Amino acid sequence: MYLPTYMAVSLWIFALFGFICLIIRVIMGYRWKGQAGKGQYSIIISARNQQETIEGLIRGFILKSGINGQEDALFNVVLVDGDSSDDTPEIMKRLAKEYCCVKFVNSEELPSYLKGFWYRGN
């Protein structure tokens, strides 16, 4: 009980295609597993007149997340000042210098359409 040649060839082609797809999935699975947890997060924190709480909040977040200033563990933390009248921008700048994963953005650097979202009630 033999199969015709064209059926045997087509079955071998499908089997080879399935095997190649399996190999590709295994290789891609290992590649994605190795990159899991690296550079996946960007956290944006906006603050206005929060000099009493911003430093403790950022330091506590960095300590609890286990970053310890490593840039590959967390993509970045973006601190945005919302036209503060106290020392909040200076504290944010100091934190940005201290931790390589923390970036500081002043409200003047934001596009005008984003400025409309700052504390509309105040």
pLDDT digits (tens, 9 = 90+) for 44-54: 888 888 899 99
pLDDT higher at 119 or 92: 92
> Domain containing 11: what range?
1-36
In a domain, 29, yes or no: yes
> How high is the pLDDT of residue 9?
87
Using CA atoms, how far apart are residues 33 and 35, in angstroms rounded to an integer? 5
Host H or E run for residue 76: strand 76-81
- Non-local CB neighbours of 102 within 8 Å, separated by 6+ positions: 58, 62, 76, 77, 79, 95, 96
Do 56 and 73 lie in one domain? The reply is yes
Give domain status of residue 121, yes or no: no
Three-class SS state of 103: strand
The reply to whether 56 and 7 lie within a common domain is: no
Please name which of 77, 86, 85 lies closest in space to residue 105, comparing C-alpha atoms: 77
63-91: pLDDT as tens digits: 877 665 555 555 678 898 888 899 999 99
Work out the pLDDT band at 119, boundaries 50, 70, 90: very low
Q: Are residues 17 and 73 in the same domain?
A: no
